[in-house]
Chains A and B, each alone.
Chain A
Amino acid sequence: MIINQLIIPLLVVIIIGFGLLKGHDIYNLFIEGCKDGINIAIKIIPPYFAMIFAINIFNGSGIINCIINQLAFLPKSIRLVIPMALIRPISGTASLAVLNQILSYYGPDSLVGNIASTIQGCTDTTFYVLALYFSSVRIKKTRYALAVGLLADLAGVITAIIVVYLFLN
């Protein structure tokens, strides 16, 4: 945990120290970069807004809990993991909320707990990243990007279940 907290401060020192040693005008380089950052920020605020709008409505409807209840016939280790896998590519916060539920119900060291933790750790919010990155450069046609991204996520989920069954059961 301590190492984690050291990475960012160290990185800042290295970047600034390296620039100083090389004799660059780092203050103005920083300002220049910040200006660029503001331009990027202006470009990504609208897609950000759109994303949060849709995700808030989806989460707020309580449909995730409904899906969990509908799957009562499945073994509980899979029943809770499915909604988690479904929601993971869409929203990091929502899948963390499901993970929270799972960990508090079944405990972090249970089979379900381990599977859900692994899924959260091994994939990213594909849908969200694609929307953000593509709209930052005004791409309208994303071709097969989403399909491949989601297939990779599916592979991650299946592997997570198998690996946890094999090693942490």
Chain B
Amino acid sequence: MVNILWSLLIIIGIVYSFVSGQITNINDYILKIGSSTLELLMITIPLLIMWMGLLNIADKTGLLAMLSKKIRIILKPLFPKIKNNKALDYIASNVIANMFGLGSAATPFGLKAMEELQKENNNKEIASSSMITFLVLNTSGVTIIPTTVISLRMMYGSINPSQIIITSLIATIIASTIGLLIDYVIRRINNDN
């Protein structure tokens, strides 16, 4: 599916720019791919490495397990198949980091969680149901304070920039609930609990 979407993005983009006579734009974009990727990597990779360093301290000193203990109890029923507590710790930390809008910290937790889930996965090339549940939880992401949006609204002179916090929270909770429900139904149909 990623395969198809990825190709579609590229083909639609190039064909449309042919049709609309903007092929020079695309030519520039393709040639600039190296530098624009590098720019993004220069920001994200050092942050990832730093968080992984701190994460390792929190992990080995027992702080991570302590902090995620409470959330683990809530998460456990969502992941009936996970035997490995470490995976649940990372999932819990990923969810917490996302809640507070700490995207840069959430990614390393999430990647570690995937690593742990992959250890329990029977077929290493096919996504396990626990992985899918985790990603549904992650992408419908419960964010308490959408900081970027609030600062954009401030920039455009909103009278009440933070009035969208409540509406976002309601929408995000409903999105997560519906996502998890669909996921649960599919797991039941597949007998994959």
Residue ranges of A at the interface with B (Cβ–Cβ < 8 Å):
4, 7-8, 11-12, 14-16, 18-19, 22, 24, 26, 29-34, 36-38, 40-41, 44-45, 48-63, 66, 89-90, 96, 99-100, 103-104, 107-109, 113-114, 117-127, 129-134, 136-149, 151-153, 155-157, 159-160, 163-164, 167-168
Contact = CB atoms under 8 A, between A and B. Distances in A.
Given A37-B53, A53-B33, A62-B25, 7 more contacts: A15-B54, A48-B44, A61-B25, A61-B26, A138-B125, A145-B131, A149-B136
Contacts of A121: 143, 146, 149, 164-165, 168, 171-172
A136 B55 CA distance: 18
A109 B146 CA distance: 16
A16 B55 CA distance: 10
9 contacts: A15-B54, A18-B58, A22-B62, A30-B54, A32-B56, A63-B12, A113-B158, A137-B124, A146-B1
B contact face: mostly helix, strand, loop, or mixed? helix
Interface residues of B, number: 98
- In the A-B complex, the 5 residue pairs with the smallest Cβ-Cβ separation, listed nearest first, are A33-B56, A152-B179, A37-B52, A121-B146, A156-B175
Interface in B101-132: 101-102, 105, 107-108, 110-111, 114-115, 117-118, 124-127, 131-132
Contacts of B139: 89, 123-126, 129-130, 149, 152-153
B12 to A, nearest CB: 7
Contacts of A145: 1, 127, 131-132, 135-136
Contact of B167 (A45, A133, A167): A167
Interface of B: 1-2, 5-6, 9-10, 12-14, 16-17, 20, 22, 25-26, 28-30, 32-33, 36-37, 40-41, 44-45, 48-63, 100-102, 105, 107-108, 110-111, 114-115, 117-118, 124-127, 131-132, 135-136, 138-141, 143, 145-149, 152-153, 156-161, 163-172, 174-176, 178-179, 182-183, 186
